[in-house]
Structure 1
C-alpha cells in the first residue's frame, strides 16, 4: 500500500508539473487580451476625485490608466487651464465664463469641494503644471475644448509641449483631440509628429467611409460618443486606418459592451472597469 501511495504521488506531481505551464500560458493570454484595450481616465479618474484636478490625475495614474484625458481652455490673460465647461459654475465655487477670469483669479477658486469635503481647496490646474507633474508617468490625451472661443490656443499648447521636448512621438504618449476638426488640422500642422484625434458626437452616427478617409488624412483616431458605436462603425474606422476610443463609459456593463465591439480604447470615469472586462476567445 505504501509503495502504491508513493507511485501515485509521483504521478500526481508529474502531472502537475506538466499542467503548470499550460495554466501560466492561459494567464498570459488573459493579460495580453486585457492590455489590448487602452484605458483612458476621463478628466482623470473622475468617478473617484473631482474632474480635471491634480487629485483626479494622480488617481488615474495610481489606478494604472494608460492615458489621462484633460480639457484645455484659456484664461482672460492667455494662460492655459484645465477645466471642462466653458463656465466655472459647475465644478468650482465661482460663477461666469472661464475666459472672464485671469489665471490669478481662477486659481483662487475651490475646484474640489463640490465633489467631496476631502477635496476642499483643490485648484484649477494649469496645462504646464499637469505636464510637469505627469510627463513620462502616463499618456496624456489633450482635448482642445471649444477652441473657437480661444484664438491661438493651438499655438500655445504646441509651445508648451515643445518647450518640454514633448512634441516628438519617441518622447512619450501625447495625443491631441477636439470636436472642432479645423482645430485638429491646425494642431497637426503645428505638431506633425504627434498623433491627433477627431472627437465625434451623436450627429456623426451616419459617418461615411469618405469622411473617415478624410479624417485619416490628418488624424490617427476617431473617438465617438459610445452610443453611436456599432460593429459596422468599428470596422469602417479600422478600414480607414484609424483607431477608435469611444467616450464615456460609466458602468461595468458599458465597458463590457465596448470591449465586445472590439474598440481599441475606452474613455471611462472608472479605470477599474476596463481591467475587469471578460477575456475574449476563452
Structure 2
C-alpha cells in the first residue's frame, strides 16, 4: 500500500513539474457541469416584490438578492429614446399620465416612478435602457430585455441591438437575452444580432390549448429560449423544448409552492417578482 501511495505521489510530482495538473480535467469537467446545471433565477422587472418595478432600485435589489438575471421592458419615447416601462402608458407606475410613445424623455424623467409602490421610493426615476445596461454590464447578473409591444415602435429591434453593442454587452454572449411575445420581432432581432441569445414569450391567452411541435420548430429557427406562462408548463412541454436544444424559463411564478412544483418539470429556471423563489 505504501509503495502504491509513493508511486502516485511521484507521478503527481512529475506532472506538476511539466505544468500539468492530474486534476485539471476533472476540475474543468466539474466547472462545466456546474455551469450547465445552474438554475436561472430571473427577477421579474427587477426584484419587483420589494421595490418599484423596472427601476434602478428594483434592479439593484435583484443584484443584492443574488438573482442570476433580471428582466426589464423597453419602449420608445416620442423623441426616440429607449426607456424602461412595462405598460404602454405611464399611468399605473408613475404620477403622470399618457402613452410612452407620446411623451418625450424629459417629460418621462420628470415623473415619480416610486411613490406608487411605497413612499420610501419617492423620486425614483424611469431609467433609460442605456443607463441600465451601463450600470449592470460589469455586475454578476444577466439582463433579459423584453421588446414590449414592438409593433408600436417600428425599427426598435435595430435600436436595441445598437444599444447592446454600444454598451459593450456583445463581448459576452451570455450577458443578454432579448425576448418578446411578438415572435416576428424576435426573428428580426436574431437576424440583426445573432450573437445575442433570444427568446419567445408564450402567452396563456394565445396558447391556452397548448403549444404545437410545429410552432416550437418554427421558433427554433431564431430562438434559444421558449418562455411560457407558468400555467402552460408541464413535463411534456419542457421535454419537447429540450429535444429541440432550447431552454425554458416560465413566468411569473406567484409563490414558493408554485416555484417548487414547476421545478419538478425540468425547467431551466423561473421568472418571478421574488428572487428567493428560484433558490
Is the shorter-chain TM-score for this pair beyond 0.5, marking a shared fold? Answer: yes
CA distance in 2, matches of 1:45, 1:165: 24
In the alignment, what sits opposite 2:274?
270
Q: Contact between 1:209 and 1:240, CA under 8 Å: does it hold in 2?
A: no
Q: How many residues align?
A: 244
Alignment of 1:57 onto 2:30 = no
Q: Which residue of 2 aligns with 1:153?
A: 156
1:211 CA drift (Å): 1.2
Q: Does 1:42 align with 2:58?
A: no
CA distance in 2, matches of 1:76, 1:61: 31
1:173 alignment partner in structure 2 = 175
Aligned to 2:246: 242
Which residue in 2 is equivalent to 1:70?
Answer: 72
**Are 1:224 and 2:201 counterparts?**
no
- Give the Å deviation of 1:171: 5.4
- Cα contact 2:173–2:195 (8 A) shared by 1: no
Secondary structure class of the residue paired with 2:215: helix
Give the 3-state SS of the residue equivalent to 2:106 in structure 1. Answer: helix
Gaps in structure 2 of 5+ consecutive residues: 1-29
Divergent runs of 4+, >2 A: none
Compute the displacement of 1:172 (Å): 4.5
Q: Deviation of residue 165 (structure 1)? A: 2.5
Residue of structure 2 in register with 1:94 after alignment: 96
Cα distance in 2 for residues equivalent to 1:66 and 1:173: 10
Taking the aligned partners of 1:136 and 1:250, their CA distance within structure 2 comes to 30
Between the aligned partners of 1:194 and 1:171, the Cα distance in structure 2 is 6
The CA distance in 2 between the partners of 1:104 and 1:165, in whole Å, is 26
Q: Does residue 106 of structure 2 align to residue 104 of structure 1?
A: yes
Q: TM-score, normalised by structure 2?
A: 0.84
Are residue 196 (structure 1) and residue 223 (structure 2) matched? Answer: no
Equivalent residues of 2:174, 2:197 under 8 A apart = no
Q: Secondary structure at the match of 2:185?
A: helix
Cα shift readout 1:41-86 (whole Å, capped 9, x = no counterpart): 0000000000000000000010001111000000000000001000
How far the C-alpha of 1:36 sits from its partner, in A, is 2.9
Shift of residue 204 of structure 1?
Answer: 2.2
Distance 1:98 1:254 in 2: 33
Which secondary structure does the structure 1 equivalent of 2:170 belong to? coil
Deviations 1:122-151 (A, max 9, x none): 000000010110002110000000000011
Partner of 2:23: none
SS of equivalent to 1:266? strand
SS of 1:73 mapped into structure 2:
strand
- Do structure 1's residue 136 and structure 2's residue 114 form an aligned pair? no
